[in-house]
Structure 1
Amino acid sequence: MQFSIRRVNAIFRKDWKDLMKNSYIIFTLAFPLIFAAWIGRIGSEDPAFQTFSIHFALVIAGAFVQAAMVAEEKEKNTLRGLMLSPASTAEILVGKSALTAVSTLVVVIGSILLAEYKVPSPPLFILSILLGLVLFVTIGTILGLLSRTVMETTIVGMPVLVIFGMGSMFKAMTDNEMIIKAVDYLPSEQLNMIWMELDREMNISGTIDNILILLAWVVVSFVIAVFVYGKRRFD
C-alpha cells in the first residue's frame, strides 16, 4: 500500500476541527507561552533559564497535547475505527501527529520570542528542536495509546514532565554518580548540552555525540509507538 497524503490530510483536518472545540488542549498549548512571557518579563539573560521555557514547550505542547488528542479519540471510540480503516500505520501515526507537531513548533517559536532568547547557530539549533519535537510527539502518542481517558493522560504523563523535562533537578538532588550519569543521557540534558555548546559558539563537532544520542531516543521511541499501536489495533 502506497503512502497517501490525502488520507494524512483528512486525518489532519479532522484533528483541526476537534482542536478548535477543545478548550483543555487550547489552554495547554497556551500555558508554555504564559511561562515564557513571565521569563521575558523578569528580564533574565541566563541561557539555561531561558531555554527551560523551550523544554517546557516541547514537553507540554508536544507530549501532553498529543497524548490528550489520541486519548480523546479512544474515549469517543473513533480511534479503533481509524485503526481498522484502509489507512496504513504510517499514515495514521503521521496524520495524528501532524497537527501537534505544527502546534508545538508555533508554541516553541512563540516561547523563544517571548523569553527573548537569542538563538545561537540557527541551523544546528533548528535540528535539535526538530529531533526534540519528533521525540516528544512520539512519546505523547505512546502515552495516549496507553491512557484510557484524556484526564488519565495527566496522571500518566506527569512522570514524563518530571523526568524528561526537568532532568537537571535530579542532578541537584543527589550525589550518586550512577544517577547523575544516567540523567546526563536524558533527552532534556542532551538538548541542554547542545544549546550550551552552541551558546559557546561551538560547531557541529562539539555537539555530534549529543545529536546522535537524541537520534537514538527518537528511533527507540518510534519503535515502541509502532509496537503499542499494533497491540492496541488487534486488542
Structure 2
Amino acid sequence: MAQITVHETELSLSNPTLVEGLPGVGLVGKITADHLIETFEMTHYATCHCKGLPEVAIYHENDPEITGAVRLYADPEHELLVLQSDVPVSPNAAEEFAGCLTGWIRDQDALPIYLSGRSTDPDDERATYGVATGEAGEILSAHDIAPPDERGAISGPTGALLYEAHRQDLDALGLIVEASARFPDPAAATSLIETAIAPITGLTVETDSLLDRAEEIRATRQQLAQRMQQAQEESSKAEPVGMYQ
C-alpha cells in the first residue's frame, strides 16, 4: 500500500520547505540532504513505503535500530523537511513513487525543492540553474537563479517528481547543478546550498566542512556512486537533449 508513515506525530510543521536528496549525478542530492540533516540535527520524522521502493533494512552506525531506505527528516524550528535515500529508486518505480510522495507533499502544504546534477567536467566553478512548476518561478526570479542555458531533460525519479508536480499544478522548484559524472561531488553540493538552497529557504547553512571533508565524503559515497554508474537509468540527472530530439 502506497503511504508515508509519520513516526513523530507531535512535531508540528506549517508550510515547510522540502529538500529532496535522491542519489543522482555526483550524488549532489544525497550529499546535500545528508549535510542538512547533520547540520540541523534533524529528527527522523517519517518513512516512505511507496510501492516499488526497495524492500531493504537500513542499519546505522552505533545504533541497533533498523530503518527504511527512503526517509523524511524534520526540523520544525526552521520549517524544513529533507528526503533522504540510501538506495537508488528504480525507474520502474518512479511514477508510482512520484504520485505517492507528491500527494503527501500537497497534504503538508509544502514547497518541494528537487535536486539534480548535470554531467560536466567541472573546474572550480559549478553553475546552478533553476526550473519551476506552478507559480514557483517567481521564487527563482527573486533570488536571481537563472534558467538552464540549453534545452534538456531531467530523468529518473527526480524528473518524475517534477513532472508530477507539473501535472498537479503544484508549486515546485527544480535545481540543476553542474557536477562530476564519475565521482561524488561535494563541491557541487556546496554550490547548490550556497547559491540556491540557503537563499530560497532563508537558512544559514555552514558549508566549509563539506569542502574540508571532501575526500572523506567521496570515499564513503564511492560505493553508492559505483552502483549508480552501473545502473545509470536509475539515476536522477539533467542532460541536454539537443534542439531536434
Shorter-normalised TM range: under 0.3
Larger-Rg structure:
1
TM-score by length of 1: 0.26
> Is the helix fraction higher in 1 or 2?
1
